Copies of this chain bind each other. A is one copy, B any other.
Amino acid sequence: MVTIYDVAKLAGVSAATVSRVVNGRSSVDAGLAARVQQAMAELDYRPNAVARNLRRQKTSIWAVIISDIGNPFFTSLVRGVEDVGQAAGYSVVLCNSDEDPAKEARYVAAALAEQMAGVIISSTGKAANLSRLVDAGTPVVAIDREVRAAAVDTVLVDNAHGADLATSHLAEQGYRRIACITGPRRLPTAQRRLQGYRAALTAYRLEPDDNLVRYGDYREEGGYQAMASILDSGAAPDAVFAANNLMTVGALECLVDRGITVPAQMGVVGFDDIPWAHLVRPSLSTVVQPTYELGRTAALLLVERIAEPTRPLSTVTLRTELKIRDSSAPREQRFR
């Protein structure tokens, strides 16, 4: 390995001068700088980031800990983070907790041990993991999922409002027995979306019925099972609001398997878009989240938090939007 001393020796200067040239912080005589540059090129010198990190007590890497790499929701979110992070001079690495608090804990430990410059995390719900970061003084931004027990900057979408939009839309289209498949009880997003659903029922004077509500796992399989369970319960829904993208897919699969046509026999609206929603037949109505913006905003907050660790906490809530496609066509269609 070529060290800074090798370069210094070849250029006939001290290691400190090489360091100055490399980091461009302090000014160096142009002639010396040129010699150093040449020596670096000649030796193909690459600064050892580990040594630098040790000395500086921090890295220039951000960790983005996401809860499910298989969920396309995170894809453009990550792009948003990357674009801001790269521009600010950070490398962004992704860690996949897979909705597993233990795996999340491992990545949090790694982020801590490796002295990551900052962490953006979509929490599995275990606040302790987040607190560990905060306590260690690592700049953190929570994304998508608020964590009440930890004091961190947060970027959310208006979950309740989005769910309300979706459910209200179904009500307006003439559906009367609207089911809801929400996420795990422990997750605030799941709770909020359920709240929004209930608010819409109330607004439209539709009777709430617990038989129409299920808690899924935010996975395809869970959506399938929840849908099956609702159908089997005899609750006789005529529409369903599924609180995330993968569960919507699962629910649709169940409907296909049972020979229930959408939207003629069952209206469907999902929360969070899926790629190719328009290719799925019928095309899927969904509550669209500004995923790229979500990532961008989180990254911006992180940059600010790093620059000013004591600034007051902030929570940014982004708007969702209802994208109406075919799966929630007016109920009346059935009778045409």
Contact = CB atoms under 8 A, between A and B. Distances in A.
Contact of A110 (B48, B91, B96): B91
A181 B51 CA distance: 48
Contact of A70 (B57, B59, B72, B106): B72
Given A249-B276, A276-B280, A78 B72 contact: no
Interface in A84-116: 86, 91-96, 98, 103, 106-107, 109-110, 112-115
A72 B253 CA distance: 19
Q: In the complex, which range does the number of interface residues on chain A fall in?
A: 35 or more
Contacts of A76: 70
A46 interface: yes
Interface in A273-287: 274-276, 278-281
Contact of A91 (B53, B82, B106): B106
Contacts of A49: 110, 113-115
A63 interface: yes
Given A95-B91, A106-B91, A281-B281, A69 B61 contact: no
A8 interface: no
Nearest to A113: B49
Contact of A109 (B46, B86, B279): B46
A279 B279 CA distance: 9
Given A79-B98, A93-B93, 19 more contacts: A1-B57, A46-B109, A47-B113, A48-B115, A49-B110, A49-B113, A50-B53, A50-B59, A61-B110, A63-B93, A69-B79, A69-B94, A70-B275, A72-B72, A91-B95, A93-B94, A94-B95, A249-B275, A279-B280
12 contacts: A50-B50, A50-B113, A69-B79, A91-B95, A92-B96, A93-B94, A94-B96, A249-B275, A253-B279, A276-B280, A280-B280, A281-B281
Give the 8 A-B residue pairs with the shortest CB-CB distance, closest first: A281-B281, A49-B113, A93-B93, A94-B94, A70-B75, A91-B110, A50-B53, A279-B280
Interface of A: 1, 46-51, 53-54, 57, 59, 61, 63, 69-70, 72, 75-76, 78-79, 82, 86, 91-96, 98, 103, 106-107, 109-110, 112-115, 136, 249, 252-253, 256, 274-276, 278-281
